[in-house]
Structure 1
Amino acid sequence: MKYIIIEDEQLAAKRLRQLVEELRPEYEFKAKFDSVESATISLPALSYDLLFMDIQLADGISFDIFDQIHIEKPIIFTTAYDEFALKAFKTNSVDYLLKPIDHNELKNAIEKFEKRANTAENSESQIESTQLEKLIQSLNPTGKERFVVKVGEHLKTVETQEIQLIYSQDKGTYLFTLSGKRFLVDYTLDKIDDLLNQAQFFRISRKFIINMSYIKDIIAFTNSRLEIVIDHFDEDQIIVARERVNEFKSWLDR
Protein backbone atom coordinates (compact mmCIF):
# COMPACT_ATOMS: atom_id res chain seq x y z
CA MET A 1 0.00 0.00 0.00
CA LYS A 2 1.27 3.45 -0.92
CA TYR A 3 0.34 6.42 1.24
CA ILE A 4 0.71 10.20 1.23
CA ILE A 5 0.71 12.59 4.19
CA ILE A 6 -0.80 16.07 3.90
CA GLU A 7 0.26 17.92 7.05
CA ASP A 8 1.75 21.36 7.70
CA GLU A 9 3.26 20.60 11.12
CA GLN A 10 6.66 18.98 10.59
CA LEU A 11 6.74 17.19 13.95
CA ALA A 12 3.20 15.88 13.53
CA ALA A 13 4.02 14.59 10.04
CA LYS A 14 7.19 12.92 11.29
CA ARG A 15 5.39 11.23 14.19
CA LEU A 16 2.58 10.03 11.93
CA ARG A 17 5.05 8.51 9.48
CA GLN A 18 6.90 6.79 12.34
CA LEU A 19 3.67 5.33 13.69
CA VAL A 20 2.65 4.02 10.26
CA GLU A 21 6.11 2.47 9.79
CA GLU A 22 5.77 0.74 13.16
CA LEU A 23 2.30 -0.58 12.41
CA ARG A 24 2.79 -1.35 8.71
CA PRO A 25 6.48 -1.49 7.74
CA GLU A 26 5.45 -2.87 4.35
CA TYR A 27 3.57 0.32 3.46
CA GLU A 28 5.38 2.64 1.07
CA PHE A 29 5.60 6.34 1.90
CA LYS A 30 5.20 8.34 -1.33
CA ALA A 31 5.18 12.04 -0.43
CA LYS A 32 4.31 14.76 2.05
CA PHE A 33 2.60 18.08 1.31
CA ASP A 34 2.03 20.97 3.69
CA SER A 35 -0.44 23.15 1.80
CA VAL A 36 -3.59 23.15 -0.29
CA GLU A 37 -1.61 24.52 -3.23
CA SER A 38 1.15 21.89 -3.20
CA ALA A 39 -1.30 19.02 -2.75
CA THR A 40 -3.57 20.28 -5.51
CA ILE A 41 -0.68 20.57 -7.95
CA SER A 42 1.00 17.25 -7.16
CA LEU A 43 -1.66 14.71 -6.19
CA PRO A 44 -3.13 14.11 -9.68
CA ALA A 45 0.25 12.90 -10.97
CA LEU A 46 0.90 10.45 -8.11
CA SER A 47 -0.11 6.84 -7.59
CA TYR A 48 -1.26 6.06 -4.05
CA ASP A 49 -3.80 4.01 -2.07
CA LEU A 50 -4.39 6.08 1.06
CA LEU A 51 -4.21 9.71 2.17
CA PHE A 52 -3.51 10.94 5.69
CA MET A 53 -4.87 14.48 5.63
CA ASP A 54 -4.75 17.23 8.23
CA ILE A 55 -7.66 19.64 7.96
CA GLN A 56 -5.96 22.91 8.92
CA LEU A 57 -3.12 23.49 6.46
CA ALA A 58 -0.59 26.27 5.96
CA ASP A 59 -2.67 28.11 3.34
CA GLY A 60 -6.22 27.11 4.19
CA ILE A 61 -8.47 24.13 4.90
CA SER A 62 -7.89 20.80 3.23
CA PHE A 63 -11.49 20.68 2.02
CA ASP A 64 -10.41 23.36 -0.48
CA ILE A 65 -8.44 20.63 -2.26
CA PHE A 66 -11.69 18.84 -3.15
CA ASP A 67 -12.95 22.00 -4.83
CA GLN A 68 -10.01 21.92 -7.26
CA ILE A 69 -9.24 18.27 -7.95
CA HIS A 70 -11.13 14.99 -7.79
CA ILE A 71 -9.97 12.61 -5.06
CA GLU A 72 -11.42 9.12 -4.99
CA LYS A 73 -8.93 7.37 -2.71
CA PRO A 74 -9.73 6.73 0.97
CA ILE A 75 -8.70 9.35 3.51
CA ILE A 76 -7.83 9.21 7.20
CA PHE A 77 -8.27 12.73 8.56
CA THR A 78 -5.93 13.89 11.33
CA THR A 79 -6.56 17.17 13.13
CA ALA A 80 -6.92 18.90 16.47
CA TYR A 81 -10.24 20.52 15.55
CA ASP A 82 -13.17 18.18 16.09
CA GLU A 83 -15.77 20.68 14.82
CA PHE A 84 -14.70 19.51 11.35
CA ALA A 85 -15.56 15.88 12.05
CA LEU A 86 -19.00 15.72 10.48
CA LYS A 87 -17.88 17.44 7.29
CA ALA A 88 -14.85 15.14 7.14
CA PHE A 89 -17.05 12.05 7.12
CA LYS A 90 -19.21 13.44 4.34
CA THR A 91 -16.18 13.02 2.08
CA ASN A 92 -14.66 9.65 1.17
CA SER A 93 -13.18 9.22 4.62
CA VAL A 94 -12.09 6.00 6.28
CA ASP A 95 -11.68 7.48 9.73
CA TYR A 96 -11.11 10.62 11.75
CA LEU A 97 -8.34 10.93 14.34
CA LEU A 98 -7.77 13.73 16.83
CA LYS A 99 -4.24 14.91 17.60
CA PRO A 100 -2.09 13.87 19.30
CA ILE A 101 -2.65 10.66 17.39
CA ASP A 102 -3.06 7.59 19.54
CA HIS A 103 -1.20 4.43 18.46
CA ASN A 104 -4.20 2.14 18.93
CA GLU A 105 -6.64 4.51 17.23
CA LEU A 106 -4.34 4.74 14.21
CA LYS A 107 -4.06 0.96 14.19
CA ASN A 108 -7.86 0.66 14.15
CA ALA A 109 -8.14 3.22 11.35
CA ILE A 110 -5.62 1.37 9.18
CA GLU A 111 -7.39 -1.94 9.82
CA LYS A 112 -10.67 -0.33 8.76
CA PHE A 113 -9.01 0.90 5.56
CA GLU A 114 -7.61 -2.57 4.85
CA LYS A 115 -10.96 -4.22 5.48
CA ARG A 116 -12.60 -1.94 2.94
CA ALA A 117 -9.83 -2.63 0.43
CA ASN A 118 -9.99 -6.39 0.93
CA THR A 119 -13.76 -6.53 0.58
CA ALA A 120 -13.63 -4.43 -2.61
CA GLU A 121 -15.70 -1.62 -1.10
CA ASN A 122 -15.11 1.37 -3.29
CA SER A 123 -13.76 4.55 -1.74
CA GLU A 124 -16.93 6.51 -2.29
CA SER A 125 -19.18 4.16 -0.31
CA GLN A 126 -21.41 5.75 2.27
CA ILE A 127 -20.40 5.92 5.92
CA GLU A 128 -22.63 3.73 8.07
CA SER A 129 -25.32 5.54 10.05
CA THR A 130 -23.85 4.29 13.34
CA GLN A 131 -20.54 5.96 12.51
CA LEU A 132 -22.29 9.18 11.56
CA GLU A 133 -24.29 9.18 14.79
CA LYS A 134 -21.11 8.65 16.80
CA LEU A 135 -19.48 11.53 14.98
CA ILE A 136 -22.38 13.88 15.62
CA GLN A 137 -22.19 13.07 19.32
CA SER A 138 -18.45 13.81 19.33
CA LEU A 139 -18.78 17.25 17.75
CA ASN A 140 -17.95 20.26 19.85
CA PRO A 141 -21.44 21.43 20.96
CA THR A 142 -20.29 25.03 21.36
CA GLY A 143 -18.93 25.32 17.82
CA LYS A 144 -15.87 27.36 16.91
CA GLU A 145 -14.68 29.36 19.90
CA ARG A 146 -12.68 32.14 18.24
CA PHE A 147 -11.36 33.49 14.96
CA VAL A 148 -7.85 34.75 14.21
CA VAL A 149 -7.91 38.06 12.33
CA LYS A 150 -5.22 40.38 11.00
CA VAL A 151 -5.15 44.00 12.14
CA GLY A 152 -2.42 45.85 10.29
CA GLU A 153 0.76 43.88 10.92
CA HIS A 154 -0.69 42.17 13.98
CA LEU A 155 -2.82 39.10 14.64
CA LYS A 156 -5.58 39.07 17.23
CA THR A 157 -8.36 36.74 18.24
CA VAL A 158 -12.07 37.50 18.18
CA GLU A 159 -14.18 35.42 20.55
CA THR A 160 -17.19 33.93 18.77
CA GLN A 161 -19.51 34.91 21.61
CA GLU A 162 -18.69 38.58 20.91
CA ILE A 163 -19.76 38.37 17.25
CA GLN A 164 -23.14 39.97 16.59
CA LEU A 165 -23.22 39.33 12.88
CA ILE A 166 -21.22 37.77 10.05
CA TYR A 167 -21.73 39.06 6.54
CA SER A 168 -20.28 39.08 3.03
CA GLN A 169 -19.48 42.26 1.16
CA ASP A 170 -17.40 42.98 -1.96
CA LYS A 171 -16.19 39.34 -2.12
CA GLY A 172 -14.98 39.51 1.51
CA THR A 173 -16.37 37.98 4.72
CA TYR A 174 -16.56 40.12 7.84
CA LEU A 175 -17.18 39.62 11.56
CA PHE A 176 -19.16 42.44 13.18
CA THR A 177 -18.53 42.50 16.92
CA LEU A 178 -20.22 43.76 20.07
CA SER A 179 -17.82 46.72 20.11
CA GLY A 180 -19.10 47.84 16.70
CA LYS A 181 -15.90 46.86 14.88
CA ARG A 182 -15.65 44.70 11.78
CA PHE A 183 -12.86 42.27 10.90
CA LEU A 184 -12.07 40.59 7.59
CA VAL A 185 -11.59 36.80 7.82
CA ASP A 186 -10.18 34.21 5.40
CA TYR A 187 -13.37 32.13 5.29
CA THR A 188 -16.38 32.05 3.03
CA LEU A 189 -19.78 32.46 4.64
CA ASP A 190 -20.53 28.83 3.76
CA LYS A 191 -17.50 27.59 5.66
CA ILE A 192 -18.18 29.76 8.69
CA ASP A 193 -21.75 28.46 8.79
CA ASP A 194 -20.36 24.92 9.11
CA LEU A 195 -18.18 25.93 12.07
CA LEU A 196 -20.68 27.76 14.26
CA ASN A 197 -22.99 26.57 17.03
CA GLN A 198 -26.27 26.15 15.16
CA ALA A 199 -28.28 26.80 18.32
CA GLN A 200 -26.74 30.27 18.61
CA PHE A 201 -26.19 31.36 15.00
CA PHE A 202 -28.59 31.27 12.06
CA ARG A 203 -27.95 31.98 8.41
CA ILE A 204 -30.84 34.19 7.38
CA SER A 205 -29.75 34.71 3.77
CA ARG A 206 -26.85 34.25 1.36
CA LYS A 207 -25.32 37.40 2.85
CA PHE A 208 -25.92 37.26 6.63
CA ILE A 209 -25.44 34.99 9.65
CA ILE A 210 -26.85 36.44 12.87
CA ASN A 211 -26.22 35.72 16.55
CA MET A 212 -29.50 35.27 18.40
CA SER A 213 -28.15 36.99 21.52
CA TYR A 214 -27.79 40.32 19.75
CA ILE A 215 -31.08 40.62 17.89
CA LYS A 216 -32.45 43.98 19.03
CA ASP A 217 -35.65 43.92 17.00
CA ILE A 218 -37.46 41.99 14.26
CA ILE A 219 -39.65 43.99 11.88
CA ALA A 220 -42.11 42.83 9.23
CA PHE A 221 -40.73 43.67 5.80
CA THR A 222 -42.09 43.53 2.25
CA ASN A 223 -42.89 40.25 0.43
CA SER A 224 -43.35 38.30 3.69
CA ARG A 225 -39.75 38.89 4.70
CA LEU A 226 -38.34 40.10 8.01
CA GLU A 227 -35.80 42.77 8.90
CA ILE A 228 -33.36 42.20 11.78
CA VAL A 229 -31.99 45.08 13.82
CA ILE A 230 -28.49 44.75 15.29
CA ASP A 231 -26.97 47.54 17.40
CA HIS A 232 -24.54 49.84 15.54
CA PHE A 233 -24.72 47.93 12.27
CA ASP A 234 -25.50 50.34 9.44
CA GLU A 235 -23.68 48.79 6.46
CA ASP A 236 -26.90 47.43 4.97
CA GLN A 237 -30.39 46.23 5.87
CA ILE A 238 -30.36 42.80 7.50
CA ILE A 239 -33.15 40.95 5.73
CA VAL A 240 -34.29 37.37 6.30
CA ALA A 241 -34.68 35.76 2.88
CA ARG A 242 -38.29 34.82 2.14
CA GLU A 243 -37.45 31.12 1.76
CA ARG A 244 -35.82 31.13 5.21
CA VAL A 245 -38.51 32.97 7.16
CA ASN A 246 -40.45 29.92 8.39
CA GLU A 247 -37.29 28.07 9.38
CA PHE A 248 -36.02 31.19 11.14
CA LYS A 249 -39.24 31.52 13.13
CA SER A 250 -39.03 27.86 14.15
CA TRP A 251 -35.40 28.36 15.18
CA LEU A 252 -36.41 31.30 17.39
CA ASP A 253 -39.33 29.38 18.89
CA ARG A 254 -37.55 26.13 19.77
Structure 2
Amino acid sequence: MNILIIEDEKPAAKRLMQLIGQELPEAKLTGNIDSIESAIDWITSNPDPDLIFCDIQLADGLSFSIFENVEVNSPIIFTTAFDQYAIKAFKLNSIDYLLKPIDPAELKHAIGKFQQLNDRPSFDINKIREIFQTESKTYKSRFLVKIGEKIQSIQASEASYFYSEERITFLKTFEGKKFILDYTLDQLENMLEPKQFFRLNRKYISSFPSISEIHTYSNSRLKIILKDCSDNDILVSREKVTAFKAWLDG
Protein backbone atom coordinates (compact mmCIF):
# COMPACT_ATOMS: atom_id res chain seq x y z
CA MET A 1 0.00 0.00 0.00
CA ASN A 2 1.31 3.42 -0.99
CA ILE A 3 0.33 6.41 1.17
CA LEU A 4 1.07 10.05 0.33
CA ILE A 5 1.32 12.56 3.19
CA ILE A 6 0.95 16.26 2.34
CA GLU A 7 1.96 18.24 5.43
CA ASP A 8 4.16 21.32 5.81
CA GLU A 9 4.79 21.03 9.56
CA LYS A 10 7.68 18.61 10.05
CA PRO A 11 6.75 17.57 13.63
CA ALA A 12 3.16 16.92 12.54
CA ALA A 13 4.32 14.93 9.49
CA LYS A 14 6.71 12.88 11.61
CA ARG A 15 4.03 12.07 14.18
CA LEU A 16 1.51 11.16 11.50
CA MET A 17 3.98 8.82 9.81
CA GLN A 18 4.75 7.15 13.14
CA LEU A 19 1.06 6.61 13.90
CA ILE A 20 0.33 5.29 10.41
CA GLY A 21 3.34 2.98 10.68
CA GLN A 22 1.86 1.48 13.83
CA GLU A 23 -1.47 0.80 12.14
CA LEU A 24 -0.13 -0.14 8.70
CA PRO A 25 3.44 -1.39 9.19
CA GLU A 26 3.72 -2.68 5.61
CA ALA A 27 2.63 0.58 4.01
CA LYS A 28 5.08 2.64 1.97
CA LEU A 29 4.90 6.25 3.16
CA THR A 30 5.87 9.31 1.15
CA GLY A 31 6.00 12.22 3.55
CA ASN A 32 8.29 14.96 2.24
CA ILE A 33 5.50 16.81 0.42
CA ASP A 34 5.11 20.19 2.13
CA SER A 35 3.60 22.59 -0.40
CA ILE A 36 0.98 22.92 -3.13
CA GLU A 37 3.67 23.05 -5.80
CA SER A 38 5.54 19.96 -4.61
CA ALA A 39 2.25 18.03 -4.24
CA ILE A 40 1.23 18.83 -7.81
CA ASP A 41 4.67 17.81 -9.08
CA TRP A 42 4.54 14.52 -7.17
CA ILE A 43 1.00 13.60 -8.20
CA THR A 44 1.64 14.34 -11.87
CA SER A 45 4.87 12.31 -11.84
CA ASN A 46 3.76 9.21 -9.91
CA PRO A 47 1.00 6.59 -10.01
CA ASP A 48 -2.06 7.30 -7.86
CA PRO A 49 -1.35 6.42 -4.22
CA ASP A 50 -3.79 4.14 -2.42
CA LEU A 51 -4.52 6.84 0.15
CA ILE A 52 -3.67 10.52 0.73
CA PHE A 53 -3.41 12.32 4.05
CA CYS A 54 -3.62 16.04 3.32
CA ASP A 55 -3.33 19.09 5.55
CA ILE A 56 -5.72 21.87 4.54
CA GLN A 57 -3.51 24.85 5.35
CA LEU A 58 -0.08 24.66 3.72
CA ALA A 59 2.65 27.29 3.75
CA ASP A 60 1.85 28.43 0.21
CA GLY A 61 -1.94 28.36 0.48
CA LEU A 62 -4.95 26.09 0.92
CA SER A 63 -4.49 22.55 -0.36
CA PHE A 64 -7.71 22.89 -2.40
CA SER A 65 -5.45 24.39 -5.07
CA ILE A 66 -3.81 20.99 -5.54
CA PHE A 67 -7.07 19.39 -6.61
CA GLU A 68 -7.97 22.31 -8.86
CA ASN A 69 -4.74 21.89 -10.83
CA VAL A 70 -4.39 18.13 -11.08
CA GLU A 71 -6.82 15.22 -11.16
CA VAL A 72 -6.76 13.21 -7.94
CA ASN A 73 -8.39 9.77 -7.92
CA SER A 74 -7.23 8.59 -4.50
CA PRO A 75 -9.25 8.58 -1.27
CA ILE A 76 -8.31 11.55 0.89
CA ILE A 77 -8.24 11.97 4.66
CA PHE A 78 -7.80 15.59 5.65
CA THR A 79 -5.80 16.72 8.64
CA THR A 80 -7.05 20.06 9.87
CA ALA A 81 -7.22 22.45 12.79
CA PHE A 82 -10.68 23.74 11.83
CA ASP A 83 -13.43 23.38 14.38
CA GLN A 84 -15.76 20.45 14.79
CA TYR A 85 -18.69 22.03 12.97
CA ALA A 86 -16.83 22.27 9.69
CA ILE A 87 -15.19 18.91 10.10
CA LYS A 88 -18.51 17.09 10.50
CA ALA A 89 -19.55 18.47 7.14
CA PHE A 90 -16.72 16.59 5.43
CA LYS A 91 -18.72 13.41 5.90
CA LEU A 92 -21.31 14.76 3.47
CA ASN A 93 -18.69 14.30 0.79
CA SER A 94 -17.52 10.84 1.91
CA ILE A 95 -14.14 12.25 2.96
CA ASP A 96 -12.80 11.49 6.41
CA TYR A 97 -10.67 13.79 8.54
CA LEU A 98 -8.28 13.96 11.47
CA LEU A 99 -8.45 16.88 13.86
CA LYS A 100 -5.06 18.18 14.99
CA PRO A 101 -3.43 17.21 17.27
CA ILE A 102 -4.08 13.76 15.87
CA ASP A 103 -5.57 11.22 18.22
CA PRO A 104 -4.35 7.62 17.62
CA ALA A 105 -7.87 6.24 18.11
CA GLU A 106 -9.27 8.65 15.52
CA LEU A 107 -6.52 7.68 13.09
CA LYS A 108 -7.29 4.00 13.59
CA HIS A 109 -10.98 4.66 12.95
CA ALA A 110 -10.24 6.63 9.77
CA ILE A 111 -7.96 3.89 8.43
CA GLY A 112 -10.64 1.35 9.27
CA LYS A 113 -13.16 3.26 7.17
CA PHE A 114 -10.68 3.40 4.31
CA GLN A 115 -10.10 -0.35 4.47
CA GLN A 116 -13.84 -0.98 4.24
CA LEU A 117 -14.25 1.03 1.04
CA ASN A 118 -15.09 -0.93 -2.08
CA ASP A 119 -14.85 2.05 -4.39
CA ARG A 120 -12.82 5.18 -4.10
CA PRO A 121 -14.88 8.13 -2.85
CA SER A 122 -15.59 11.03 -5.15
CA PHE A 123 -13.84 14.30 -4.43
CA ASP A 124 -15.95 17.43 -4.88
CA ILE A 125 -13.82 20.54 -4.36
CA ASN A 126 -16.86 22.82 -4.67
CA LYS A 127 -18.61 21.04 -1.80
CA ILE A 128 -15.62 21.57 0.46
CA ARG A 129 -15.40 25.25 -0.53
CA GLU A 130 -19.09 25.73 0.35
CA ILE A 131 -18.42 24.31 3.80
CA PHE A 132 -15.67 26.78 4.55
CA GLN A 133 -17.55 29.70 3.06
CA THR A 134 -20.28 28.94 5.57
CA GLU A 135 -17.71 28.90 8.35
CA SER A 136 -16.47 32.34 7.32
CA LYS A 137 -19.51 33.88 9.03
CA THR A 138 -17.89 33.11 12.38
CA TYR A 139 -14.74 35.20 11.84
CA LYS A 140 -14.10 37.76 14.55
CA SER A 141 -15.62 41.17 13.79
CA ARG A 142 -14.47 43.19 16.84
CA PHE A 143 -12.00 43.18 19.70
CA LEU A 144 -12.31 44.40 23.28
CA VAL A 145 -9.35 46.55 24.36
CA LYS A 146 -8.55 48.27 27.62
CA ILE A 147 -7.74 51.98 27.67
CA GLY A 148 -6.84 52.98 31.22
CA GLU A 149 -9.89 52.08 33.26
CA LYS A 150 -12.13 51.95 30.20
CA ILE A 151 -12.97 49.05 27.92
CA GLN A 152 -13.54 49.83 24.26
CA SER A 153 -14.66 47.76 21.28
CA ILE A 154 -12.58 48.03 18.10
CA GLN A 155 -14.06 46.77 14.85
CA ALA A 156 -11.86 44.36 12.89
CA SER A 157 -12.49 46.57 9.87
CA GLU A 158 -10.69 49.39 11.71
CA ALA A 159 -7.50 47.32 12.02
CA SER A 160 -4.72 48.26 9.65
CA TYR A 161 -2.44 45.46 10.84
CA PHE A 162 -1.53 43.32 13.84
CA TYR A 163 2.00 42.78 15.05
CA SER A 164 3.98 41.11 17.80
CA GLU A 165 6.71 42.87 19.79
CA GLU A 166 8.48 41.42 22.82
CA ARG A 167 5.80 38.73 23.13
CA ILE A 168 3.00 41.31 23.19
CA THR A 169 0.40 41.49 20.42
CA PHE A 170 -0.77 44.87 19.17
CA LEU A 171 -3.62 46.04 16.95
CA LYS A 172 -2.79 49.15 14.90
CA THR A 173 -5.76 51.05 13.49
CA PHE A 174 -5.92 53.08 10.30
CA GLU A 175 -6.05 56.18 12.53
CA GLY A 176 -2.60 55.30 13.88
CA LYS A 177 -3.74 54.15 17.33
CA LYS A 178 -2.41 50.94 18.80
CA PHE A 179 -3.94 48.64 21.38
CA ILE A 180 -2.74 45.57 23.26
CA LEU A 181 -4.65 42.35 22.57
CA ASP A 182 -4.92 39.20 24.66
CA TYR A 183 -4.33 36.98 21.64
CA THR A 184 -1.23 35.64 19.92
CA LEU A 185 -0.76 36.13 16.20
CA ASP A 186 -1.28 32.40 15.73
CA GLN A 187 -4.69 32.71 17.37
CA LEU A 188 -5.56 35.82 15.39
CA GLU A 189 -4.67 34.13 12.12
CA ASN A 190 -7.56 31.71 12.63
CA MET A 191 -9.95 34.41 13.89
CA LEU A 192 -9.62 36.97 11.10
CA GLU A 193 -11.40 37.02 7.75
CA PRO A 194 -8.80 35.57 5.34
CA LYS A 195 -10.01 37.68 2.43
CA GLN A 196 -9.21 40.81 4.41
CA PHE A 197 -6.10 39.80 6.38
CA PHE A 198 -2.93 37.90 5.51
CA ARG A 199 -0.19 36.51 7.78
CA LEU A 200 2.92 38.06 6.26
CA ASN A 201 5.39 36.42 8.62
CA ARG A 202 5.90 35.55 12.29
CA LYS A 203 5.50 39.19 13.37
CA TYR A 204 2.81 40.70 11.14
CA ILE A 205 -0.75 40.14 9.97
CA SER A 206 -1.79 42.81 7.48
CA SER A 207 -5.04 44.05 6.04
CA PHE A 208 -5.19 44.68 2.31
CA PRO A 209 -5.53 48.52 2.53
CA SER A 210 -2.52 48.83 4.85
CA ILE A 211 -0.06 47.59 2.21
CA SER A 212 1.69 50.61 0.74
CA GLU A 213 4.46 49.06 -1.38
CA ILE A 214 5.67 45.62 -2.46
CA HIS A 215 9.26 45.03 -3.59
CA THR A 216 11.05 41.93 -4.87
CA TYR A 217 13.77 40.76 -2.52
CA SER A 218 16.56 38.18 -2.48
CA ASN A 219 15.81 34.43 -2.64
CA SER A 220 12.44 35.04 -4.33
CA ARG A 221 11.04 36.78 -1.27
CA LEU A 222 8.97 39.96 -1.11
CA LYS A 223 9.54 43.06 0.98
CA ILE A 224 6.41 44.79 2.25
CA ILE A 225 6.00 48.43 3.26
CA LEU A 226 3.01 49.00 5.53
CA LYS A 227 1.33 52.36 5.99
CA ASP A 228 2.18 54.05 9.29
CA CYS A 229 4.77 51.39 10.18
CA SER A 230 8.42 52.11 11.03
CA ASP A 231 9.56 48.54 10.37
CA ASN A 232 11.24 48.48 6.96
CA ASP A 233 12.24 44.81 7.10
CA ILE A 234 8.88 43.06 6.73
CA LEU A 235 9.51 40.08 4.45
CA VAL A 236 7.21 37.48 2.94
CA SER A 237 9.04 34.16 2.68
CA ARG A 238 9.47 32.36 -0.62
CA GLU A 239 7.07 29.64 0.54
CA LYS A 240 4.29 32.20 1.12
CA VAL A 241 4.77 34.31 -2.00
CA THR A 242 2.35 32.32 -4.16
CA ALA A 243 -0.41 32.45 -1.54
CA PHE A 244 0.26 36.15 -0.92
CA LYS A 245 -0.06 37.01 -4.61
CA ALA A 246 -3.27 34.99 -4.83
CA TRP A 247 -4.60 36.92 -1.83
CA LEU A 248 -3.72 40.25 -3.45
CA ASP A 249 -5.42 39.19 -6.65
CA GLY A 250 -8.62 38.46 -4.73
TM-score (norm 2): 0.52
What displacement does 1:93 show?
Answer: 5.5
Residue 124 of structure 1 corresponds to: 122
1:98-247 matches, within 5 Å, as 98-116=99-117, 119-120=118-119, 122-124=120-122, 142-143=138-139, 144-146=190-192, 147-150=197-200, 155-157=203-205, 186=244
Q: Which amino acid aligns with 1:142?
A: T
Q: Which amino acid aligns with 2:191?
A: E
Cα separation, partners in 2 of 1:5 and 1:84, compared to 1, 3 Å? farther
Q: Distance in 2 between matches of 1:14 and 1:4?
A: 13
Show CA shifts across 1:194-243 (max 9, x none): xxxxxxxxxxxxxxxxxxxxxxxxxxxxxxxxxxxxxxxxxxxxxxxxxx
Cα separation, partners in 2 of 1:155 and 1:99, compared to 1, 3 Å? same
Cα separation, partners in 2 of 1:93 and 1:24, compared to 1, 3 Å? same
Cα separation, partners in 2 of 1:82 and 1:64, compared to 1, 3 Å? farther
Q: Which amino acid aligns with 1:186?
A: F
Provide structure 1 residue ranges, at least 5 long, that are not aligned to the other structure. Answer: 127-134, 166-178, 180-184, 193-254
Provide structure 2 residue ranges, at least 5 long, that are not aligned to the other structure. Answer: 125-130, 140-189, 210-227, 229-242
Q: Distance in 1 between matches of 2:78 and 2:70?
A: 17
Asked if 2 retains the 8 angstrom alpha-carbon contact of 1:83 and 1:140, the reply is: no
Cα separation, partners in 2 of 1:87 and 1:155, compared to 1, 3 Å? farther
Identity percentage of aligned residues? 43
Q: Distance in 2 between matches of 1:88 and 1:45?
A: 32
Q: Which amino acid aligns with 1:115?
A: Q
Asked if 2 retains the 8 angstrom alpha-carbon contact of 1:94 and 1:113, the reply is: no
Q: Does 1:5 align with 2:53?
A: no
Cα separation, partners in 2 of 1:188 and 1:59, compared to 1, 3 Å? closer
Q: Does 1:71 align with 2:72?
A: yes
**Count of aligned pairs between the two proteins:** 166
Q: Distance in 2 between matches of 1:91 and 1:67?
A: 20
Asked if 2 retains the 8 angstrom alpha-carbon contact of 1:8 and 1:35, the reply is: yes
Asked if 2 retains the 8 angstrom alpha-carbon contact of 1:51 and 1:76, the reply is: yes
Query: SS at 2:205's partner residue?
Result: strand
What displacement does 1:27 show?
Answer: 1.7
Q: Which amino acid aligns with 1:12?
A: A
Residue 43 of structure 2 corresponds to: 43
What displacement does 1:98 show?
Answer: 1.3
The farther-off stretch of 4-13 and 73-82 is: 73-82
Q: Distance in 2 between matches of 1:95 and 1:66?
A: 16
Q: Distance in 2 between matches of 1:100 and 1:74?
A: 21
Q: Which amino acid aligns with 2:25?
A: P
What displacement does 1:66 show?
Answer: 1.2
Cα separation, partners in 2 of 1:34 and 1:91, compared to 1, 3 Å? farther
Show CA shifts across 1:105-157 (max 9, x none): 111111111111xx33x32178xxxxxxxx89xx6872351233449xx8423
Cα separation, partners in 2 of 1:14 and 1:149, compared to 1, 3 Å? closer
Q: Distance in 2 between matches of 1:90 and 1:188?
A: 29
Asked if 2 retains the 8 angstrom alpha-carbon contact of 1:75 and 1:93, the reply is: no
Show CA shifts across 1:77-115 (max 9, x none): 002233894698389663111110000011111111111
Residue 61 of structure 2 corresponds to: 60
Q: Distance in 1 between matches of 2:200 and 2:109?
A: 40
Residue 161 of structure 2 corresponds to: none
Q: Which amino acid aligns with 2:138?
A: T
Query: SS at 2:12's partner residue?
Result: helix
1:17-32 matches, within 5 Å, as 17-32=17-32
Show CA shifts across 1:153-212 (max 9, x none): x84235xxxx899xxxxxxxxxxxxx9xxxxx83868x98xxxxxxxxxxxxxxxxxxxx
The answer to which structure, 1 or 2, has the higher relative contact order (CA under 8 A, 6+ apart) is 2
Decide which structure has the larger Cα Rg and report it: 1
